[in-house]
Copies of this chain bind each other. A is one copy, B any other.
Amino acid sequence: MSVVSLARLLSVATLAALAGVASFGAPGALAEGATAPKNRVVMQVSDNDPAKWNLALNNARNLQSDLGAKNIEIEIVAYGPGIGMLKAESVVGNRIGEALGNGVMVSACENTMHGQKLTKPDMLNGIGYVPAGVVEIMQKQQQGWAYLRP
């Protein structure tokens, strides 16, 4: 951490020295400063537990109602024992439809589906798919999304 940060500081110094432009760089910082920070949450569902599925859906609804649906991006990622949340016969199928209608992204893990011999016709309509739920959750965090495990 300290080495990388120091190296980053030094690299900016080098670039600035070579270019000789004190106003060089910082487009990212300027862009960041120009807009409100984006609210983004990736939610993990990995339990075979309808109470957890409902809690995740409640959390998504509360985030949208408190911040305004336009002001937050939410992705629910179901994988492992949580994949049942997104099967066609899911007890929360109706609520998933509502969440999708409200702009929540809902993603099923294809690794898990493969392991459980599930194909897209076995799943709810309208959902999305990711190759690997854990990779998706990690990458979203690395892109600055907050993490929530209901």
Residues 89-114 of A at the B interface (beta carbon under 8 Å): 111
Mask of A4-24 contacts with B, CB within 8 angstroms, 1/0: 111111111111111111111
Give the number of residues in A that approach B within 8 Å (Cβ atoms): 64
With contacts A32-B2, A132-B63 taken as known, whether A18 is within 8 angstroms of B22 at the C-beta atoms is yes
| Chain A facing B: main interface SS | helix
Say if the beta carbon of A126 comes within 8 Å of chain B: no
Say if the beta carbon of A146 comes within 8 Å of chain B: yes
Mask of A30-74 contacts with B, CB within 8 angstroms, 1/0: 101100010101001010000100010011001100110000000
CB–CB B6/A29 < 8 A: yes
Say if the beta carbon of A148 comes within 8 Å of chain B: yes
* Chain B residues closer than 8 Å to A146, beta-carbon distance: 137-139, 141-142, 147
* Chain B residues closer than 8 Å to A30, beta-carbon distance: 2, 6, 11
CB–CB A5/B6 < 8 A: no
